[in-house]
């Protein structure tokens, strides 16, 4: 009995020291991701030498797939590593993250899961307590017998404080699946991520004015897409547009590049920031009248900076057209060409009488269904309240306003109107005026060319 037990134990240990240790249960040996300061830049080709050095077989490919080339301090993100080769049948990888300025220290940490092992330098498994970490495959995610390629998903939590640019070092083994270190193709790559949201803005912001982003009216309505003007919103010369990587639950963020806008105590979604301008959307407020406004830098942090209080008047409607250079309403033909004087927008065309064109604007109030500011409607959301539209002074019949509501796929502050240009319109730059509750779109630039 004792002998048998012993025999079983020896057998397991043998397994562990051969295939299991290297290729399988605990992934690749630590410090083989190709970091120059780790064991003189060792990568998998130090042992998988048949086709050394790494990247010598051009038929294979190692890619790192990211939602954005940035990280936010302390905010976990998913990194995808894809390895492909036409002949390989088993797959392995290793990845580590280092501050570019000091590749001897770890940047953040990886989370192990059923497909991903995290090894520490020089030994042990995560949590690594601040020592260098290596995310790697295990026996399951080496997908023995799988052809063409595999993708691993790795959860990475960046450092809590920004450390400047971070470099991801990745190595991959497109192996032949025979369980040895021969006949395997090795690939290496690096990717650099810049820090986002460091929040070290040092100057107190000055708020000067707010305006409808289309008409420049200073009275704003709920959900209006608007701009605030002033100074020191951002470091001079730096600008930041919200991208998909910034979205929070599928909506525009209420903090972008360490800047927030607060109206009537509510945070507004932001789409763009530069030192003297912020583009944002008024929250779906139900109160009207004057409301306090603040610009807040480094929001919620010990170094938070608030502007003096400003005031904005909120009304039910603030209808305005978006324009091309304040000279022509932002409009397109049914087949997607820009309607504008070619002198204003190169390639612009005039609308034809009888055509249906689409106009874009903001400030037209609530819709059905209601969208919160920052959300992105995917389908139809018509205006809740009545609107009239005149073209060249002639009131459009209800049947010639084919759609009046939010523009699907865009931030919920962008409205679109599909209207038919009357046959009676006089060719030239024709004024189009939309009116809600007695408030009309702007006159300056509120025209479209008609032929
Ligand atoms: C210190 C030497 C060494 C290094 C470095 C090394 N390996 Fe290996 N690897 C081996 C050996 C030896 C085997 C053969 C099986 C065993 O002994 O565990 C192996 C096997 C494998 C296998 C299974 C191969 C097959 O054909 O089935 C995979 C996958 C693998 N290694 C991935 C990697 C990856 C990915 C790296 C780099 C990040 C790497 N290894 C770095 C020594 C190494």
Tens of pLDDT, residue by residue, the chain (451 residues): 223 222 233 222 233 333 334 444 689 999 999 999 999 999 999 999 999 999 999 999 999 999 888 998 888 999 999 999 999 999 999 999 998 878 999 999 999 999 999 999 999 999 999 899 999 999 999 999 999 999 999 999 998 766 768 999 999 999 999 999 999 999 999 999 988 766 889 999 999 999 999 999 999 999 999 999 999 999 887 788 887 657 888 899 998 888 999 999 999 999 999 999 999 999 999 999 999 999 999 998 889 999 999 999 999 999 999 999 999 999 999 999 999 998 999 999 999 999 999 999 999 999 999 999 999 999 999 999 999 999 999 999 999 999 999 999 999 999 999 999 999 999 999 999 999 999 999 999 999 999 9
Alpha carbon of 77 to ligand 1 centroid (Å): 28
Residues with CB under 6 A from ligand 1: 18-19, 21-23, 28-29, 32, 44, 46-48, 90, 92-94, 142, 171-173, 175-181, 184
Task: Determine the residue of 20, 21, 28 to mutate for testing ligand 1's pocket, defined as the one with the most ligand atoms within 8 A of the Cβ atom.
Answer: 28
Q: Decide if 183 contacts 47 (C-beta within 8 A).
A: no
| Residue bearing the CA closest to ligand 1, atom 23 | 23
Q: Under the phi-then-psi rule, with left for phi > 0, alpha for psi from -120 to 50, and beta for the rest, what region is 240?
A: beta
Which pLDDT does position 198 carry in this prediction? Answer: 65
Give me ligand 1 centre to Cα 38, in Å: 17
CA-19 nearest atom, ligand 1 = 18
- Which pLDDT value is given to residue 245? 59
Residue to mutate, 23, 43, 132, 133, ligand 1, most ligand atoms under 8 Å from C-beta: 23
Q: Give the closest residue (by CA) to ligand 1 atom 21.
A: 23
By CB atoms closer than 10 A (0-12, 13-18, 19+), residue 34 is buried
Neighbours of 294 (CB within 10 A): 17
Q: What is the whole-number distance in angstroms between the Cα of residue 49 and the centre of ligand 1? A: 10
pLDDT at position 195, please? Answer: 81
> Which of ligand 1's atoms lies nearest the C-alpha of 33?
38
CA of 175 to the centre of ligand 1 (A): 9
Rg (CA), the chain: 29
For residue 369, say if its preceding peptide bond is cis, omega within 30 degrees of 0.
Answer: yes
Which string of b and e fits 80-91 if b means at least 16 CB within 10 Å? ebbbbbeebbbb
Kindly compute the dihedral angle of the four CA atoms of residues 263, 269, 271, 277, in this order, to the nearest 10 degrees.
Answer: 10
In the reported structure, the alpha carbon of residue 47 is separated from the centroid of ligand 1 by a whole-number distance in angstroms of 7
Span from the CA of 122 to the centroid of ligand 1 (angstroms): 17
Q: Which of 227, 234, 162 is nearest to 203 (CA)?
A: 234
Ligand 1 nearest atom to the CA of residue 134, by list position: 38
How far is ligand 1, taken at its centre, from the CA of residue 174, in Å? 10
């Amino acid at each position: 009995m004792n002998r048998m037990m012993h025999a079983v134990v020896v057998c397991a240990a043998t397994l562990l020291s051969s295939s299991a240790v290297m290729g399988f249960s605990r992934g690749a040996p630590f410090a083989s991701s190709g970091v120059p300061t780790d064991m003189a830049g060792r990568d998998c080709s130090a042992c998988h030498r048949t086709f050394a050095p790494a990247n010598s077989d051009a038929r294979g490919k190692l890619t790192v797939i990211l939602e954005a080339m940035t990280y936010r301090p302390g905010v976990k993100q998913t990194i995808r590593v894809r390895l492909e080769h036409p002949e390989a049948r088993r797959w392995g990888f290793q990845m580590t993250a280092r501050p570019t300025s000091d590749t001897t220290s770890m940047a953040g940490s990886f989370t192990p899961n059923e497909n991903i092992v995290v090894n520490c330098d020089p030994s042990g498994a995560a949590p690594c307590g601040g020592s260098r970490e290596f995310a790697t495959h295990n026996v399951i995610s080496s997908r023995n017998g799988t052809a063409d390629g595999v993708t691993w998903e790795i959860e990475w939590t960046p450092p809590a404080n920004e450390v400047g640019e971070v470099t991801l070092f990745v190595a991959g083994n497109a192996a032949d699946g025979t369980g040895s270190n021969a006949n395997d193709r090795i690939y290496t790559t690096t990717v650099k991520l810049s820090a986002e949201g460091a929040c070290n803005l040092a100057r107190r912001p000055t708020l000067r004015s707010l305006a409808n982003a289309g008409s420049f009216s200073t009275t704003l309505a709920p959900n209006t897409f608007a701009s605030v003007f002033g100074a020191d919103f951002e470091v001079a010369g730096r600008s930041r547009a919200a991208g998909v990587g910034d979205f929070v639950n599928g909506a525009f963020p209420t903090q972008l590049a360490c800047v927030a806008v607060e109206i009537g105590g509510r945070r507004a979604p932001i789409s763009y920031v530069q030192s003297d301008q912020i583009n944002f959307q008024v929250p779906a407020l139900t109160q009207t009248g004057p409301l306090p406004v603040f610009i807040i830098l480094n929001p919620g942090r010990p170094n938070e900076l608030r502007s003096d209080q400003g005031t904005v008047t909120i009304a039910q409607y603030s209808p305005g057209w978006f324009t091309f250079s304040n000279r022509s309403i932002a409009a397109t033909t049914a087949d997607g060409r820009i309607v504008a004087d070619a002198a204003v927008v190169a390639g612009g065309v005039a609308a034809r009488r009888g055509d249906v064109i689409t106009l874009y604007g903001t400030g037209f109030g609530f819709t059905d269904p209601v969208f919160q500011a920052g959300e992105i409607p995917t389908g139809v959301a018509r205006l809740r309240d009545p609107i009239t539209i005149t073209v060249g002074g002639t009131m459009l019949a209800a049947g010639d306003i084919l759609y009046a509501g939010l523009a699907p796929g865009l931030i919920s502050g962008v409205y679109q109107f599909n209207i038919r240009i009357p046959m009676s319109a006089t060719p030239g730059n024709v004024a189009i005026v939309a009116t809600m509750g007695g408030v009309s779109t702007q006159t300056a630039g509120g025209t479209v060319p008609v032929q």
